[in-house]
Amino acid sequence: MNTNHPDAESKPQAKPGPAETATSRSGEPLPGPEKRLLDRVRNWVDVFPWLRLVRVCRVAGGPVWVGHTLMVMVVWLVGWSLIGDTSLASIEPTSMRTVASLAVSTTACPSDGVVALPGILIGGGVAGASGWRNWMKILWTILIWLPTSMGLVRVGSLLTGGRDMPSYLGTFRVVFGRLRGALLIVILPSLVASLFWLVAVGLIWVSARLGGAAGGANWISWVTLPIVFPALVVAAVLVLGGRFAVPLALAAWMIESEPDPIDSLSRGYEYTLRRLPQLVLLVVVALLISSVVVLGFVGVSSVGLALADSFGGSHVPAEYSVAILPAVIGVMLLWSMIGGIYLLLRQSAGGQEVEDLAVESDHWKSPKLPSVQTQ
């Protein structure tokens, strides 16, 4: 038999040999299954998407962002005390409930001031003055905190997406370029809720005036029920849902490639109403992660105050700044986590990857050194 046939030569004989070594994307071999299991964190964040929120804690280690937020907090507290005709010392600096929650919730949902509207319109004296002061506090909070909130939301989104810490000046260039749209996002839900609320309150007032001795249980109230009931429900959904939808809308406004205020609000309310259980779980996880960092800064604040008191002197501004440091870190992390939560909800709703961001971090990187040519 002729073994020199061309077909026989073209087919190499299979020889037993070692198994092919798996390689990574860079071409380097992966020695063993253990390396394959732990080679990339992305394998774990695909199973536990909330692990990406741990990256957001890096914002608490940025001296520029901590200093900026601390300055904003001090200015806001001084204005808050002046509007409320109280002393700055009466505001508990270490109370996260009275400091951090007010700075976040009032900016996210200014419609809380609607509650004081009847006292302003028909009341007088102390009630009327208190109502106007509430509105002034709300406007002051939005004026002071909105730009910083926008910047922190953008930082949190980029960190969640695996980007570098963005530059301070580059972030605020984007913030001030989109400030008018952010104001519309914050104010529009409260404005629309107020319109529905006024319709419901007007019809209730008419029913009470024309109902006679029967009071509220009269034929006019039953006739106006098909209008009053949906108006109250819509206003309640806009007010309550706005506490989550407005921050998510700010995140969409700050990171989407072609931002639009109305589209951002629709995204915020859609993620809030249709994915409420997932949103609540992510918020709980974000609070737990943030609490670890905040507790660390509580210890830093306690040690700092002890060091300040050990010398016998008193430097009130410095001590107050050290005392409110945990609240500052809490506000920073809460707003930054909102950006990460938005990306996770967007991935769940539309399948878009968390790392798929159409914005750059604008992080400055040193240029490469020129090559030295040897002769």
Comparing 25 with 200, the larger pLDDT belongs to 200
Is the alpha carbon torsion for 63, 105, 148, 317 positive or negative?
negative
Helix, strand or coil for residue 23? strand
Given this model, what pLDDT does residue 64 score? Answer: 92
The CA distances from residue 64 to 20, 60, 253, 321, in Å, are 50, 10, 23, 15
Task: Please give the share of the chain, as a percent, with pLDDT higher than 70.
Answer: 67
d(CA 329, CA 70): 9
Given this model, what pLDDT does residue 307 score? Answer: 84
d(CA 225, CA 230): 8
Chain mean position to CA 106? 13
pLDDT class for 221, splitting at 50, 70, 90? confident
Given this model, what pLDDT does residue 176 score? Answer: 92
- Mean pLDDT over residues 147-174, rounded? 89
Given this model, what pLDDT does residue 44 score? Answer: 61
pLDDT above 50 for 18: no
- Mean pLDDT over residues 340-351, rounded? 85
On average, the pLDDT of the chain sits at 75
Say if residues 280 and 261 touch (Cβ distance below 8 Å).
no
Given this model, what pLDDT does residue 114 score? Answer: 47
**Exposure string over 249-260, b if 16+ CB within 10 A, otherwise e:** bbbbbbbbeebe
pLDDT above 80 for 108: no
- Return the minimum-mean-pLDDT range out of 37-41, 205-209, 244-248: 37-41
- Return the minimum-mean-pLDDT range out of 67-76, 86-95, 238-247: 86-95
Given this model, what pLDDT does residue 130 score? Answer: 59
The CA distances from residue 51 to 43, 116, 247, 280, 344, in Å, are 11, 41, 21, 16, 10
Residues 6 or more apart in contact with residue 319 via CB below 8 angstroms: 305, 308
Residues 6 or more apart in contact with residue 241 via CB below 8 angstroms: 189, 269, 272, 273
Which one, of 340, 226, 229, 232, lies nearest residue 282 by Cα? 340
pLDDT class for 116, splitting at 50, 70, 90? very low
pLDDT class for 109, splitting at 50, 70, 90? low
Burial class from Cβ neighbours inside 10 Å (0-12, 13-18, 19+) for residue 263 reads: middle
- Mean pLDDT over residues 103-120, rounded? 50
| Residue at token pair 């409110």 | 324
- Return the minimum-mean-pLDDT range out of 128-132, 177-181, 208-212, 277-281: 128-132
Given this model, what pLDDT does residue 86 score? Answer: 62
Given this model, what pLDDT does residue 317 score? Answer: 76
- Mean pLDDT over residues 281-295, rounded? 89
Which one, of 150, 157, 183, 162, lies nearest residue 68 by Cα? 150
Instruction: Check residue 361 and report its DSSP letter.
Output: -
- Mean pLDDT over residues 40-66, rounded? 78
d(CA 320, CA 88): 10
pLDDT class for 153, splitting at 50, 70, 90? very high
Task: Please give the share of the chain, as a percent, with pLDDT higher than 90.
Answer: 15
The CA distances from residue 305 to 73, 84, 295, 298, 317, in Å, are 18, 27, 15, 11, 12
pLDDT class for 119, splitting at 50, 70, 90? very low
- The DSSP code sequence of 275-300 is SHHHHHHHHHHHHHHHHHHHHHHHHH
**Exposure string over 220-232, b if 16+ CB within 10 A, otherwise e:** bbeebeeebeebb
pLDDT above 70 for 168: yes
- Mean pLDDT over residues 145-171, rounded? 88
Instruction: Output the pTM of the full model.
Output: 0.75
